[in-house]
Amino acid sequence: MTTRWMKPLAGCLVVLFLMAVTLGCKEAEPLPEDTMRAFVEAWRQAQYGSMYDLISADMKQQYTADTFTARYKSIYDGIGMSGLSIQWQPVEPAQDAKSAQGAKTSSGKKTQDQDAGTALYQFHVDMSTFAGPIAYDQTARLVKEKKTDGKTSSWKVRWDSGYIHPKLTDKDKVRVEETPPLRGEIVDRQGLGLAINEVKLEIGIVPKQLPAQPDDAIQKLADLLKMNAKDIQAKLKATWVKPEYFVPVTIISADDQRLEPIVSVPGADYRKKKVRSYPLEEAAAHLVGYIGKISAEELAKYKDKGYQTDDWIGKSGLELAFESTLRGKPGGRIFITDADGKEKATLVRREPANGENVQLTIDAELQLDMYRQLEKDTGAGVALHPLTGEVLAMVSVPAYNPNLFISGVSSEQWKQWSDNPAKPLLNRFARAYTPGSAFKPLTAAIALQNHTLDPDAERSIVGKQWKKDTSWGNYYVTRVSESQSAVNLATALMYSDNIYFAQTALELGAQKFVEEASKFGFGEKWNLPVALDTSTLSNNGKMKNEVQLADSGYGQGEVLMTPLHVAATYTVFANGGTMIKPKLLLNNDEKAVPWKSGLISPEVAKTVTDKMVEVIDNPAGTGHDAQVKGLRLAGKTGTAELKTKKDEAGQENGWFVAFDTEQPRLLTAIVVEQVQDRRGSHYISPKIKSLFSSYAAKKQ
């Protein structure tokens, strides 16, 4: 009996074992969520080709891989998409049943039960765009398809354009409309414009309105605009130009008298446009700077900040330094149009946020006056309020007209700037110069403060040349005049005696000289929105020998200072020994900020100031030509020699630093290059006189 049941039982066990083996070798049934997961992950990673591989066969007949990929990429690039987030989940059974009764996906097909080869998933999309966030909900339909072997199947996505946005159909287009913000203006302390937004006339050409032979018309327009005809022709050949388009050529002022003859040229036209304008033109060019069309390199660097291909951006000066403040935030909208261009829906809209104005401590009238005094020279000038540190003027000459960067710099103009040996594009007030004798009051102040100098003691100095001893070899210090043989501090400053200050520095000693002079801001970075060179006492911070120390005592050697730093050091004399920090942004509630407190005593400050008054008031003083009736000015002239050898001729730069002492409101520092054949620093005296005379008259 046992044997009779065992055989059938054993046979059954074998059959069950073989069935298990067969089932174990069979591929696992594909799941729709695996396809949905892969599709969403590829979407998040912008792998549009991988997404296309997962769409259904019937959809692939409607969309090629290139069309599919291009639609996603062009739309997302155009709207500035970032931060894409996609959440998804299966449709609940109750929802599925309800959907099966008539709900449709974006493809227009009724949902079906998953057992019938259909699966539904809800997904939620969030993204950021240039115009603001976009979010939407959509339903994805997945269908089960047989593979090419006809035996196995896989799940695919029945995709259409509604996945990009529910309001988008296959024939619709996504459009972008950007509204640029109004750029903030840069104004002076009185609110006068230094960089403003002004309505001007944009001159252009409509190609289809040109004569059949356009060369004569283009040449006539070029002559009127003082441009090269080839530059105009190049604009007309741009790839975006169409016959009916207005092709911008240049910008002119709204009251330009050339407008009538310009528009009489066949094909020429104009339109009003609000553009950047620089009222002071060359006078404030290096300070204010200019804006220009964003370059490819800048676009790559700042694209994450919302910049677009045709945007304008600060290129130099304060326009560059305050770019984030002045620019504002662009507005715009993203909308859908149908195949005929008719607008269907706005997806997101953001109003532009205009840029903020920047108000400077600059006095536009003084800025212009200083430029006019220097416009025929090569050099720089700065002006401070000696008690507050407010920067009143910063001028560099020669200069350029920044408005040309708005209207368009011609090739001839660029060549003229580039070939000019005086380098008008170079910002000289940012450059460190050898200060020469303008440094001598600092040497005097340091020595007085350290009690190594008696201001009334007379030194016997005979002849024009002096050296300490034979260890100096053939090197010697030369003074300008040998008229004085008994020299004290007053006569040393008045006659600008190099030997006196060389000896003063040697008496201080190298260590004390470097230690005390460094306290005046040498080697320190400027906390200002304009880039300035760092002033230095020497190339390595030390004096390599006594010769260098002696030369440094009268501002030669390796001493380098920017005009602003020279001016700032003189504030110690107007503030009882405290050096005031220069500032460029106006804040009427902010008090003067000490940069270096108590560098010298009030007594030392007064002593040096009184001696500098003699430089201008005394007829024998080197700065006497700058004397202004009714003003008690203190100052110091200086001539810095740039030579490779002691006895050879070389370039000389002239300095003049001055401030009013009784009611301190103005401190100026001017450096002019190449004064060797123009009476040296005496060349600058009339300029100083004119500046203080005008400023004093204005303030009365």
By annotation, the residues acting in catalysis are 437
Give the position of tokens 């003003």.
Answer: 631
What is the DSSP secondary structure assignment for residue 162, as one 8-state letter? G
First to last CA, the chain: 136
What is the DSSP secondary structure assignment for residue 339, as one 8-state letter? T
Q: Say which residues have a Cβ less than 8 Å from residue 327's Cβ, sequence separation at least 6.
A: 181, 183, 184, 313, 314, 355
Q: Say which residues have a Cβ less than 8 Å from residue 15's Cβ, sequence separation at least 6.
A: none
Task: Tell me, rounded to whole angstroms, the distance of Cα 485 from its chain centroid.
Answer: 55
If DSSP codes are grouped into helix, strand and coil, which group holds residue 303? helix
Of 583, 594, 606, nearest to 528 (Cα)?
A: 583
What is d(CA 87, CA 105) in angstroms, rounded to the nearest whole number? 18
Q: Say which residues have a Cβ less than 8 Å from residue 562's Cβ, sequence separation at least 6.
A: 429, 430, 431, 432, 433, 532, 533, 535
Q: In what helix (H) or strand (E) does residue 372 lie, and over which residues does it extend?
A: helix 364-374
What is d(CA 84, CA 93) in angstroms, rounded to the nearest whole number? 29
Q: Say which residues have a Cβ less than 8 Å from residue 7's Cβ, sequence separation at least 6.
A: none
Q: In what helix (H) or strand (E) does residue 127 lie, and over which residues does it extend?
A: strand 118-129
Report cis status (omega within 30 of 0) of the bond before 398. yes
Q: Other CB atoms closer than 10 Å to residue 419's CB: what's the count?
A: 8
Rg (CA), the chain: 39
Contact of 173 with 161, CB cutoff 8 Å: no
- State how far the alpha carbon of 354 is from the alpha carbons of 331, 337, 357, 359, 495, in Å: 9, 28, 9, 16, 56
Q: Are strands 186-187 and 358-359 parallel, antiparallel or unpaired?
A: parallel
Q: In what helix (H) or strand (E) does residue 132 lie, and over which residues does it extend?
A: strand 132-146
What amino acid occupies position 412? E
Ordered DSSP codes for 200-226: EEEEEE-GGGS-SSTHHHHHHHHHHHT
Contact of 273 with 201, CB cutoff 8 Å: yes
Contact of 168 with 174, CB cutoff 8 Å: yes
Q: Are strands 667-672 and 379-384 parallel, antiparallel or unpaired?
A: antiparallel
Contact of 673 with 422, CB cutoff 8 Å: no
Q: Say which residues have a Cβ less than 8 Å from residue 33's Cβ, sequence separation at least 6.
A: 90, 119, 121
Of 121, 88, 103, 108, nearest to 170 (Cα)?
A: 108
What amino acid occupies position 514? V
What does the block give as tokens for 514? Answer: 């470097």
Q: 536: buried, middle or exposed (CB in 10 Å: 19+, 13-18, 0-12)?
A: middle
Q: Say which residues have a Cβ less than 8 Å from residue 78's Cβ, sequence separation at least 6.
A: 174, 176
Of 394, 386, 368, nearest to 666 (Cα)?
A: 386
What does the block give as tokens for 476? Answer: 């010697």
Question: Which value, to the nearest 10 degrees, does the dihedral of the CA atoms of residues 75, 80, 83, 87 take?
Answer: -20
Q: Say which residues have a Cβ less than 8 Å from residue 649's Cβ, sequence separation at least 6.
A: 643, 676
